[in-house]
Structure 1
């Protein structure tokens, strides 16, 4: 019988590094761990892929049944199979006993030269070195694979982005329906705060099986800090940057969207900033297709801003356009490919954000962000929410 090809075969990478196996130890909070195993567990477990592309999971005994049903990896080993409890008695230390279990599996597969991710636990590597194994920390071999989404992954991201769209609509609707009282936004008779808008976003996301941490609802001059979450009463005539980056509680994939809105009267300066950001985003999105360099997209965004008299990252300015144009989105909210100064070439299956922004401490910030799928012949914008500045 012909052996079925491993779709996550990284044997070429192992060959390049003269390695016998690649190993990850962690829980499903590690994106590579979840991607490679398709198994969710809050406790630490181990994934190993040999140079023959054989894959093994080492898990606790209580997780065996679930791993056999849910994981894409067929070779499941448990700690008890490795006589973990006996090893604890011999070693007097559970951590050392765990390392001995790993050593047993590696030896069984003839693996002595091990590659690991750069954040691999130091204690485990050091202990196994003392047992005769050699280690090399390398860039994740799964990063490039993860950047090219399968049809199933694309559908997962779309589902989360749909929830994100509903949450953004709910947030903007609160601001739209608010009244201006003494320069502040008033909603249903009470001052409208960043916290209340975030609460509505959280409720909407939870209703659709998603969750979000660090949601930004930043009003006024403080929004010139791109990652300020925002706090307190929202005020009239000031920009409100809303950045939502939810994750599905079930499939672990992220989505991302930003809108900037204003209730009241916008100054001519803010209007001009918004128009510049909108134009820069449209220009960048229209460039997206396989084979285009991320650095070219970022450079064109800088061109648009500079032609309109705004500072950019190219001059090292601390105001104006002060971050990259975008990033990949998947099992991590920031992952490859990164749309900035790197010459990374876009490929079909990439899902990236395009999020130009302008930030000036004396007036605040403006940012617009759409989530874009790179298709075989161009792009598909996964973001439905319209762009209206004054609401």
Structure 2
């Protein structure tokens, strides 16, 4: 995580927008806010950075003690410092009083031109305009910074991916231990369902201090929908796509992994699809190093599929390989850089997925996903889990 002694400099972006200050308002579920402050709070608070690099945190009174310990921002002000209660009494509206507190911080800092993120709260922007400030929405100045992980951040992601490995092993073990009864997988005498496997994944992640929403355990032909979560009994001889993307409950960083497994005997088509996805993924991972364009990796994956007779998104197909090759992972599950039709070059410190897949509604889906750290001279695969199709 970012050290409190290391500045996060966005002065160049502020200068290009001719802005005096950058202002964010929200809670720690906003990745930029958490990255900039290293402070977790579920209630709304505000972050300011001036064009001179001075940072300020505006929080509720009861959060001061914790913020002084946890936040990387040293200038901490509370609503009480700004007579919030008096402003509420005067305005007869807590929301407007909160805006007045923000305005007072800006005024005392000599700021008139305020840059805000594109998803900035509308009512705060309008109130600040009424109070004489100019407001300009701009693209996140932190997104590119967040894409290059410091070693401390990479260590957190590695820890979360270790939890992901454990949960994926637990899920695969349920499939391995299952028995086939009239074409349905059974586990300890009950039909093995997507929900049961997902529960085992969740429990394993919690034991490792992680959590995950919308985990995918998709069986049968429904697995041809890449983001279908899956439901109901799992069947023999059909693909089961398991996609786990946990987040550390404490440090807030994500990890990501997908495996496709099958109990029984795969059809010739499914076996060929699996081998094609594995070959495409291996080719994509082998290319990962600093200076390589994301589009080159994506095109290589498409080339492997085309050579094996499969349709791809590059030709506009809506079956076969129908999504990008990967994406950055960090404080958001999908962040920069995006490994698709982009000429952005990989940099040391990027953490990306390589996750080719094939999807045919009459057959099902196959996807394999590893999490890759871009190093100074190549890459490190953070994904331990074996790639085994048939159990």
TM-score range, shorter chain: over 0.9
Q: In the alignment, what sits opposite 2:215?
A: 215
Deviations 1:177-229 (A, max 9, x none): 11111001011111111100001001100011000000000000000000000
Q: In the alignment, what sits opposite 1:332?
A: 332
Q: In the alignment, what sits opposite 2:270?
A: 270
Does residue 174 in structure 1 map to residue 174 in structure 2?
yes
Q: Give the TM-score normalised by the residue count of structure 2.
A: 0.98
Does residue 132 in structure 1 map to residue 105 in structure 2?
no
Q: In the alignment, what sits opposite 1:301?
A: 301
Does residue 389 in structure 1 map to residue 389 in structure 2?
yes
Alignment of 1:154-193 (within 5 A): 154-193=154-193
Q: CA RMSD in A?
A: 0.9
Q: Distance in 2 between matches of 1:308 and 1:139?
A: 40
Does residue 354 in structure 1 map to residue 354 in structure 2?
yes
Q: Distance in 2 between matches of 1:348 and 1:299?
A: 21
Does residue 229 in structure 1 map to residue 229 in structure 2?
yes
Deviations 1:254-308 (A, max 9, x none): 0000000000000110011000000000000000000011011011111111111
Gaps of 5+ in 2: none
Q: Give the TM-score normalised by the residue count of structure 1.
A: 0.98
Contact kept, 8 Å, 2:358 with 2:365, in 1: the verdict is yes
Q: In the alignment, what sits opposite 2:370?
A: 370
What's the CA shift for 1:168?
0.2
Alignment of 1:4-83 (within 5 A): 6-83=6-83
Q: Distance in 2 between matches of 1:242 and 1:267?
A: 19
Runs of 4+ with >2 A deviation: 4-7
Gaps of 5+ in 1: none
Alignment of 1:189-204 (within 5 A): 189-204=189-204
Deviations 1:8-45 (A, max 9, x none): 11111111111100010000000000000000000000
Q: In the alignment, what sits opposite 1:97?
A: 97
Q: Distance in 1 between matches of 2:164 and 2:364?
A: 24
Contact kept, 8 Å, 2:277 with 2:367, in 1: the verdict is yes
What's the CA shift for 1:7?
2.6
Q: Distance in 2 between matches of 1:13 and 1:255?
A: 29
What's the CA shift for 1:315?
1.5
Deviations 1:299-331 (A, max 9, x none): 111111111111111121111000000000000
Deviations 1:51-96 (A, max 9, x none): 0000000000000000001100000010011111111111111111
Contact kept, 8 Å, 1:221 with 1:362, in 2: the verdict is yes
Contact kept, 8 Å, 1:6 with 1:53, in 2: the verdict is no
